[in-house]
Amino acid sequence: MFALSFLSLIFLFFYTRKSENKSIELFIIYSGVFSICVLLAPIINGSYTGWDVLRYNIYPFYLSGIIITVFLAIIIKKQKHLEIGKYIALVFSICIFVISLHFINKKGLNSYFTYYPKTVKLIDELVGQKGLHCGVGNYWEAKKTTLFSKKGVKIYSVFENLSVYDHVTNQKWFFGKNEFNFVLLNGFKDTSEYQKHILTHQLISNSKDLILVKTNTFTFKKDEKGCLPVNQ
How many domains, the chain?
Answer: 2
How confident is residue 82, by pLDDT bands cut at 50, 70 and 90? low
pLDDT of 93 over the 70 cut: yes
Q: Pairing relation of β-strands 134-137 and 154-157?
A: parallel
What is the C-alpha to C-alpha distance for residues 169 and 166, in angstroms, rounded to an integer? 5
In a domain, 192, yes or no: yes
Residues 155 and 201 in one domain: yes
Residues 140 and 99 in one domain: no
- The model carries a pTM of 0.66
Residues 88 and 151 in one domain: no
* C-beta separation of 195 from 187 below 8 A: no
Range of the domain at 151: 118-231
Q: What DSSP assignment string belongs to 7-19? A: HHHHHHHHHTTT-
pLDDT, residue 79, reads 58
Residues 96 and 14 in one domain: yes
Residues 6+ apart with CB under 8 A from 138: 157, 184, 185, 186, 187, 188
pLDDT, residue 81, reads 65
What is the C-alpha to C-alpha distance for residues 158 and 170, in angstroms, rounded to an integer? 12
Per-residue pLDDT tens over the stretch 154-190: 999 999 988 888 877 887 888 877 889 999 999 999 8
